[in-house]
Amino acid sequence: MSKYVIIGNGVAAAGCIEGIRSVDKDGEITVFSAEKHPVYSRPLISYYLEGKTTVEKMNYRSGDFYKQNGVRAVYEKAESIDAKRAEVTFGRSKEKYEKLCIAAGSSPFVPPMDGLDSVKDKFTFMTLDDSLALEKKLKKNSRVLIVGAGLIGLKCAEGILERVGSVTVCDLADRVLSSILDSECAAVMQKHLEKHGITFLLSDSVVKFDKNKAVMKSKKTVDFDILVLAVGVRADIQLAKDAGCETDRGIVIDTKMKTSVDGIYAAGDCAQGFDSSTGTNRVLAILPNAYMQGFCAGVNMAGGEKSMTDAIPMNSIGFFGLHCASAGVCPSDGEGEIYEQRSCGGIKRLYIKDDRLAGYIIIGDVTGAGIYTRIIREKTDLCYVDVDKLKKDATLAMFLPENRRKMLGGVV
């Protein structure tokens, strides 16, 4: 029997292992991995195709990570959880646990699409194996159609552009990166991507596939050799649901990462935790959050005390050298004050609401962006901040001198 069992072997699991070990150096840890790889940096799969990293360098931790931490890594899929008996079934075996963390991640969501079965070379873009399989099909003259202009679809587009003939990206939304960018910022990024050779079909969707042809709602047709489906992802909640855990869009957790079932925790892309920017429980499927939730779960599983109350949505993503940083929310009701600054090829938009910086988006020079992220995360009342300086630049000059002196003259 293992004292701790972790289902999943991604970054949340790595965080969980390190969290457990920060409290308990000895307890047995078993990790179940559905993928046949040690923990790797999932967002790097597009950088791999672009030639900016290697499979080896994508390892999230050193080669002796499991050994160093006394972890038994089982490269099999966990099939079910029996919460009453406190055991996990895998293959023909069972593993008992005292504390369980579900860090199962998420899976690509592929909506039913007419004629999809007739498409020979179609891929999702979520795992290292997806990336390796796609790579095998890339040819200098391949025409690629990517369905989905979100983070996954566009990183895929960037990763393969130099290796194929053409890349067309379609999306139902009227703009690129609609989950993180507003229309103004999306227009800047779209222009940049188009300049580099990506073709967009926005506010449009595939009505029907016929082998190598996609018929769009707009009646346009797209001929392609390779299809990438990057419509969206869904949290993997089934195991938790069957075990009796409360689920919604993700596995519902409290600020200690506990699910509704005693002894079971959840972390990462499968979990629905507290988002302090909206004050609601949401799936925040971003890597920093996965690590921090995993770590927090681990500490609590091992009998320590930790809670996470300051998670916010945030993203840093770049395309062909143009960077984008964003955090917090974009007030959709239009009640907040919006401050906009444009620079050569870039844009910065700050959203101020109720004497707080509620969110921001910067495209271009992202230097210092972390200071904006900080005052969103810390919900800093802007009466303690020089707002004119805040709008101008992201520097420590915006803070009261005594606060700044503490930051630079004290142990932090």
Partner 1 sequence: MKRVYVNEKWCLGCHLCEYNCAFANSGETDMVKALKNKKIFPRVHIEQSGDITYAVSCRHCTDPLCVKSCIAGAISKLDGVVKIDKTKCVGCLTCVLVCPYGAVRPGPDGAANKCELCLENSCGEPACVKGCPNNAIVYEERQG
Give the binding site for partner 1 (CB under 8 A): 15, 41, 43-44, 47, 52-53, 57-61, 287-288, 291-292, 295, 314-318, 321, 323, 325, 327, 366-371, 373-374, 386, 389, 394-397, 401, 404-405, 407-412
Cβ–Cβ < 8 Å for 236, 106: yes
Nearest Cα neighbor of 107 from 159, 46, 41, 35 is: 35
State in angstroms the smallest separation of the CB of 111 from partner 1.
28
Contact indicator for 307, 144 with CB cutoff of 8 Å:
no
Least distance from partner 1 to the Cβ atom of residue 204, Å: 29
- Structure token pair of residue 265: 């925790």
Q: Which amino acid is at 166?
A: S
290: left (phi over 0), alpha (psi -120 to 50) or beta: alpha
Residue 247 or 380 with smaller CB distance to partner 1: 380
What lies within 8 Å, CB to CB, of 124 at 6+ separation is 108, 110, 130, 228, 229, 230
Q: How far is the CB of 327 from partner 1 (least distance, A)?
A: 7
Closer residue to partner 1 in complex, CB, 111/384: 384
Question: What's the angle, vertex CA 107, arms to CA 325 and CA 196, rounded to 5?
Answer: 40
For residue 395, the minimal CB distance to partner 1 (Å) is 5
Nearer residue to partner 1 within complex by CB, 279 or 410: 410
Q: How far is the CB of 184 from partner 1 (least distance, A)?
A: 20
Q: How far is the CB of 151 from partner 1 (least distance, A)?
A: 11
CB of 275 to partner 1, least distance (A): 16
Pairing of strands 106-108, 233-235: antiparallel
Contact indicator for 315, 323 with CB cutoff of 8 Å: no
> Shortest approach of partner 1 to residue 48 CB, angstroms?
9
Distance (Å, whole) CA 259 – CA 253: 5
Query: Sign of torsion, CA 146 138 236 301?
Result: negative
**Secondary structure class of 52 (helix, strand, coil):** coil
Of 181 and 226, which has the nearer Cβ to partner 1?
A: 181
CB of 18 to partner 1, least distance (A): 10
Least Å distance, CB 95 to partner 1, is 27
Q: Which is nearer to partner 1, 197 or 318 (CB)?
A: 318
Measured CA to CA, the distance from residue 158 to residue 230 in angstroms comes to 14
Residue 196 tokens, joined: 């580099």
In the complex with partner 1, the residue whose CB is nearer, 201 or 292, is 292
CA distance 231 to 219: 20
Chain centroid to CA 96: 30
Residue 137: which H helix or E strand, with range? helix 128-137
User: Which residue, 264 or 322, is less far from partner 1 as judged by CB?
Assistant: 322
Q: What is the pairing mode between strands 322-328 and 314-319?
A: antiparallel
For partner 1, the closer CB: 32 or 295: 295
Of 32 and 399, the one with the shorter C-beta distance to partner 1 is 399
- CB-nearer residue toward partner 1: 78 or 369: 369
Report the alpha-carbon distance of residue 123 to residue 20 in Å, rounded.
36
